[in-house]
Structure 1
Amino acid sequence: MDDKDPRRFEELVSISDSVQTMYGDELTDSIVKDIYTFAEAITKKAVTKKSQRKMNFDKKIDDLLTSRILGFPIMFLLLGVVFWITITGANYPSQILANLFFWLEDKLTYLFMAADSPKWLHGILILGMYRTLAWVVSVMLPPMAIFFPLFTLLEDLGYLPRVAFNLDKLFKKAGAHGKQSLTMSMGFGCNAAGVIACRIIESPRERLIAVLTNNFVPCNGRFPTLIALATIFVGGLVSSRYSTIVASLFITLLVVFGIAITLIVSWILSKTMLKGVPSTFTLELPPYRKPQIVRILYTSLIDRTIFVLGRAVAVAAPAGLVIWILANVRIGDMSILNHLSMFLHPFARIIGLDGFILMAFIIGLPANEIVVPIIIMSYMAKGAMLELESLAEMKELFIANGWTFLTALNVMLFSLLHFPCATTLWTIKKETGSSKWTILSALIPTAIAIVVCFIVASTARLLGSV
């Protein structure tokens, strides 16, 4: 019988699946190990190595970075350092950009007044569209401009394949691809960039799993919300001397929780709608190399930062228009925003939030950065997005509007797990070419966010914490 015969092909596939089911990854790993052992033996006989010292040095570093004991602590420590540099370093340029944009806003406002323009036109164009754009650019650009070069530097040095090596077994057990660890890591800078990075996964099934779960790691747009609330409500539980450390540890726990959700959802998808046999992933660790600074800057700033920021700006401008209309057009004695928030309030209370918070997440779809300013705008009954001068003022405003530790916890969990921003959804549509998977990429995390918040809120109520 010819190998191209369909019946012969089906028989071979059946045998392959049976062997895979019977022996799992152990057979694949054993075969690969034997191949590499045989190849190494041939290499030792046929090749003369001039840089044995460097190879030994690389091996010593690998023994440390891929160690079963130290590999994960070093990985999380490096990730923590990258986060710390990104968050700390982004504060100053973000403030400079914000000051510049709002100085320009004052000048534009003066021009509108001098031209005797209608208030509604100034509101739509300046307080709505321009202010939203200013917020998105000033908050998104500096963290991305810091995170992506650092991430690309680790990639260029050869460390990221070691990260994939460390996480490979966890993702294999979840029925996903080892390379998903790299796309997940990219999501910390921007989930849209993480979705684009899923191109490195050859299997369409496993690429889809990576795309659908990339949102469960917080991007730089969600970190400001997490940091502010953790500092106010978690760091506030201890003395000021330890508040920053405690808040940082809590954010790290949230990140670990997000990674755990990524693995759980990947496993569920691989057993249900994206069922299939995991593809073999043989990872050859490349040698450590000197980074190419020019290439790093071009790749990180042009290919990633500017590309993602461009998409964010494209969706932020119309969003600003919608937000201004909702906050300023009144029906009866309340704005449309208030009416919608009141409608959502009963459901929001069930999951430990309130109507204004849930509405802020919904109309904050274009960019996660504007969720907190929308909440502040709603509580203060203003017609444009606002930002308070200090965290102390923010805490007073939130507590005056009924916030407790449980409210803050559920806001952080919902922020961590809810639907992707519009830029990410747009990117998913471009990458998958499918409206179905784009819709599911929004519905799956939102459903999980609602369930998790409901469980936390219900448990707190049963224990009498609220």
Structure 2
Amino acid sequence: MKSKAAALTLQQTCLSPAQEKTQQKVIALAGNPNVGKSTIFNALTGMKQHTGNWPGKTVVNARGTCTFHDNTYTLVDIPGCYSLMAHSAEEEVARDFICFGEPDAVIVVCDATCLERNLNLVLQIMEAGRPVLLCVNLLDEARKKKIRLDLSLLSFRLRLPVAGTTARSSRGLDELLDELEQMLFSSPLSGRSSALPEASTPRVVYPEYIEEALSLLVPRLKRICSASGKKLPSARFIGARLLDANESLQASLKNYLGFDPAAIPEISGTLEEIRQMLEDRGISREQLHDDLASAFVRTAERVCKGVVFYPDEDCDKKDRKLDRIFTSRLTGFPIMLLGLLGIFWLTITGANYPSALLSRLLFGLEDRLALLFSLAGVPAVLTDVLLHGVYRVMAWVISVMLPPMAIFFPLFTLLEDFGYLPRVAFNLDRCFQSCSACGKQALTMCMGFGCNAAGVTGCRIIDSPRERLIAIITNNFVPCNGRFPTMLSIITLFLIGGAGGLTGSLLGACILVALIVLGVLMTFLVSRLLSATILKGVPSSFTLEMPPYRRPQILKVIVRSIVDRTLKVLGRAVISAAPAGLLIWVLANVPLSGQTTLLTALTGFLDPFARRLGMDGCILTGFLLGLPANEIVVPIIIMTYMARGSLLEVEGVQLMQLFTANGWTWITAVSTLLFSLMHWPCATTLLTIRKESGSLKWTLLSFLVPTVCGIILCFLFTTAALFLFPA
């Protein structure tokens, strides 16, 4: 019968029974964020990998296999973390897998340009008693900055195998696997084993009062650890965390053991004795916490002395010069706006031609499928439902949505790979802090431009549950790619006049950026209101990693962004669009009485309310039926105006004539733009919110907040416009 420990390992790494029988070694890949950990994982595993969620968590993990010298390893890419003192769901997952997932070894990836800071995590994992292989990555970046490292001396001081790598060019990876093989399979008698007696391993030395407390606690914990029969972290590591009153670790330890060690009279009595001793000496819990953490910092400083050699001149001169440009109060925000303008101009201009080509291809296929259905004897009604209803909506979503995303996501990922996006978060941090929100919300907001569902998923990086909910609820205030076609159509027809060519596209991009700025301001306002009402709380602090500027790997970025983002988002949108196509066909073709259809009745019912918002019933119906996919809002409006039974494509002058014939004015256009910016999230985003928040209440609130804001803003604008410019 399997032990509980073995069951946990199987569950957390998701090994198959076949893998368990072959006794594949399970290797955890750990490290700080932005050290190239995932690059190493991808290089070692190639396509032999898959992703999923950790049990009971929404945090995504990646697992893959790697074979070297006939030895197969299961690599687990755990979330990036700065320490084992977890503050977020990601850090809890990383800590729990290292401490309780029973990996055969932990490869800790460090950044060669800031090795001393990264060693903090290495020393903590060593104290936990896990076999560690240190991978010093980004040697090329260190070389550019003229930083020299003595990896042999580092290995000697830490008593660990150390391998230097440049993962982006796959250099040093064979040496890394060779060190791993020696550590796991070499015999201690061969002279090549990395295993060393515990006494020879460098120990983090705490202040005297902590060492005195541990001398009382550790012997008792050792007896409990040995009696449990499980591969627990070292008693010293557990003892230090119990002193620190780390509730998250205690909960995980209790779950792993099936009982709470701190509740055992022998341990609880010792802890109470230690607390009394600290109180008598005037040592607060805050001082204890700081002293425990600073011990690792001092040890890292001692280890790195003589190991890392910095040049006499400023090795970060180039990065700091760029930071002065990108993050200064004078130039930071203008560069952000110009960058946003450039991205949207490229997206708008570049998407037109492939979108038209894709549209002709897909709608041409519809005619051929209709002929095939006719030859096969398929009933006309079924052909109409499947082709002119379901297929046409799906084709419309694909042709309109795919080209902009295929341009936007790679551009966004290039900025991320270059290292600019963390600077955007830095610039906006003060704005979000003033709203009692988290500066990391800037990153999730940027992700929302591509897809709000992706932005909601990205909110996992925010540690505070309160601030994570604020980011989720307000993410829809930034327009996704699905709303761009509606906005661009209206801007082109009503707001840029007769401007065409380069001037027209630039003017259209400027108006679109102005709308986006309004959405960002609404994000700040609503975040502040939520923080002051139903989501009160003190804003949390967080560590924002400023990675070095790097030359983006363009080909890899394009492939990764298209596969990981564009196609996934498109797939979810198509799944939502299929039932929408069926619903739209039913509403447009099922009669109530005479020539009146369900769609006509719906638009008539909504018309009085829509008029107060500067729109009409057909426009509001388009937004309602566009819930599954925002790309089909304008086609639904056209179909409703023309009283047709399926979506129609009308462009340019004909579309302008159609809209003006149905009463559109500049007020209608602006009101529709405002409502497009601020209305309910699409179905895919709502499902993602339900999954991420785990609550129908927060999903409903995420639906209502932008919708109510849109209704209020449209009503105020229309009332003011009609008062100032009466017809």
Place the TM-score, normalised by the shorter chain, in its bin. 0.7 to 0.9
Matched, 1:85 2:330: no
Amino acid at match of 2:353: Y
Write the distance in 1 (CA, Å) between the matches of 2:318 and 2:721: 53
User: Are the aligned partners of 1:217 and 1:255 in contact in 2 as well (CA < 8 Å)?
Assistant: yes
1:65 to 322, 326, 329: 326
The structure carrying a bigger helix percent of its residues is 1
> Shift of the alpha carbon at 1:263?
0.5
Which of 393, 396, 403 is the aligned partner of 1:132?
393
Correspondence for 1:312: 573
Q: Structure 1: how far apart are the matches of 2:494 and 2:326?
A: 35
1:76 aligns with 2:337: yes
Is contact 1:89–1:146 with CA below 8 Å preserved after alignment? yes
1:201 alignment counterpart: 462
Structure 1 counterpart of 2:539: 278
For residues 310-459 of structure 1, what are the structure 2 equivalents within 5 Å? Answer: 310-332=571-593, 333-388=595-650, 390-459=651-720
CA distance in 2, matches of 1:240, 1:291: 31
Q: Conserved in 2, the CA contact under 8 Å of 1:187 and 1:218?
A: yes
Which whole-Å CA distance do the structure 2 matches of 1:245 and 1:79 have between them? 12
| Separation in structure 1 between the aligned mates of residue 501 and residue 332 of structure 2, nearest angstrom | 33
Structure-2 residue corresponding to 1:287: 548
- Would the alpha carbon gap of residues 44 and 179 (structure 1) be closer, same or farther in structure 2, given more than 3 Å must change? farther
Q: Is the 8 A contact 1:221 1:367 kept in 2?
A: yes
CA 1:315/1:414 → structure 2, altered by over 3 Å: closer, same or farther?
same
Q: 1:245 to 1:132 in 2, by over 3 A?
A: same
Pick the structure with greater CA Rg.
Answer: 2
SS of alignment partner, residue 645 of structure 2? coil
Is contact 1:341-1:359 (8 Å) kept? yes
Q: Deviation of residue 116 (structure 1)?
A: 3.6
Q: Distance in 2 between matches of 1:76 and 1:52?
A: 34
Q: 1:334 is matched by which residue type in structure 2?
A: T
Look up the match of 2:496: 235
Aligned partner of 1:106 in structure 2 is 367
In the TM superposition, what is the alpha-carbon distance from 1:282 to its structure 2 partner? 3.4
Structure 2 letter corresponding to 1:145: A
Deviates more, 1:258-267 or 1:242-251: 242-251
Given residue 131 of structure 1, which amino acid in structure 2 is its aligned partner? R
Q: 2:317 aligns with which of 56, 60, 66?
A: 56
1:217 aligns to what?
Answer: 478
Higher relative contact order (CA 8 A, sep 6+): 1
Equivalent in 523, 546, 560 of residue 262 of structure 1:
523
Structure 1 match to 2:97: none
* More deviation, 122-131/274-283: 274-283
Structure 2 distance, partners of 1:406, 1:341, is: 20
- Distance in 1 (CA, whole Å) between partners of 2:311 and 2:372 is 71
Amino acid at match of 1:192: A
Q: How far does the alpha carbon of each residue in 1:402-422 deviate from its partner, in whole angstroms, 9 at most, with x for none?
A: 000000000000000000111
Deviation per CA, 1:61-98, whole angstroms, max 9, x where unpaired? Answer: 11011111111011111111111111211112211111
Q: Deviation digits for residues 137-173 of structure 1, max 9, x if unmatched?
A: 1111111111111111111111101000111000110
Aligned partner (choices 189, 195, 198) of residue 450 of structure 2: 189
Distance 1:240 1:304 in 2: 31
| Aligned residue pair count | 434
Q: Which amino acid aligns with 2:643?
A: A
The match for 1:142 is 403
Specify the code of the residue in structure 2 equivalent to 1:439: L
The CA deviation string for residues 328-358 of structure 1, in whole angstroms up to 9 with x for no partner, is: 0111121100001001111111111100110
> How large is the RMSD of aligned CA atoms in angstroms?
2.6
The 1:3/1:336 distance shift into structure 2, 3 A limit, reads same
- Classify the secondary structure of the residue corresponding to 1:202: coil
What are the Cα deviations for residues 406-441 of structure 1, in whole angstroms up to 9, with x where unaligned? 000000000000001111111111221221111111
Counterpart pick for 2:508 among 244, 247, 260: 247
Give the partner amino acid of 2:467: E
How far apart, CA to CA, are the structure 2 residues paired with 1:401 and 1:276? Answer: 49
Equivalent AA in structure 1 for residue 328 of structure 2: S
Change (3 A) 1:240 1:288: closer
Gaps in structure 1 of 5+ consecutive residues: 9-35
Q: How far apart, in 2, do the equivalents of 1:245 and 1:294 lie?
A: 28
Bigger strand share:
2
Check whether the contact 1:191–1:219 (CA below 8 A) recurs between aligned residues.
Answer: yes
Contact 1:235 1:244 in 2 (8 A): no
Unaligned runs of 5+ in 2: 1-242, 248-274, 276-296
Given the superposition, is the C-alpha separation of residues 378 and 289 from structure 1 closer, same or farther in structure 2, using an over 3 Å criterion? same
Amino acid at match of 1:256: V
SS in 2 for 1:287: coil
Cα pair distance change 1:193/1:51, threshold 3 Å: farther
Question: Is the CA contact 1:176–1:206 (under 8 Å) kept in the aligned structure 2?
Answer: yes
CA distance in 2, matches of 1:289, 1:446: 41
**2:357 alignment partner AA:** I
Q: Which amino acid aligns with 1:415?
A: S
Greater shift, 47-56 or 148-157, is seen at 47-56
TM-score normalized with structure 2 length: 0.57
Partners of 1:290 and 1:240 in 2: CA distance = 33
- Counterpart CA distance in 1 for 2:632 and 2:322 is 43
**Distance in 2, Cα, partners of 1:240 & 1:197:** 37
Query: How far has the Cα of 1:242 moved from its partner?
Result: 5.2
Identity %: 57
| Cα 1:57/1:123, change in 2 over 3 Å | same
Q: Is the 8 A contact 1:234 1:246 kept in 2?
A: no
Per-residue Cα deviation, 1:342-379 (whole angstroms, up to 9, x for no partner): 01111111111100110110011011110000000011
Q: Which amino acid aligns with 2:529?
A: I
Q: Does the 8 Å contact 1:183/1:195 carry over to 2?
A: yes
Q: Partners in 2 of 1:448 and 1:244 — Cα distance?
A: 29
Q: Is the 8 A contact 1:235 1:242 kept in 2?
A: no
Task: Return the alpha-carbon distance in structure 1 between the equivalents of residues 679 and 316 of structure 2.
Answer: 46
Distance of aligned partners of 1:51 and 1:298 in 2 relative to their CA distance in 1, 3 Å threshold: farther
- How far the C-alpha of 1:391 sits from its partner, in A, is 1.7
Aligned residue number for residue 300 of structure 1: 561
Amino acid at match of 2:623: F
CA distance in 2, matches of 1:240, 1:409: 23
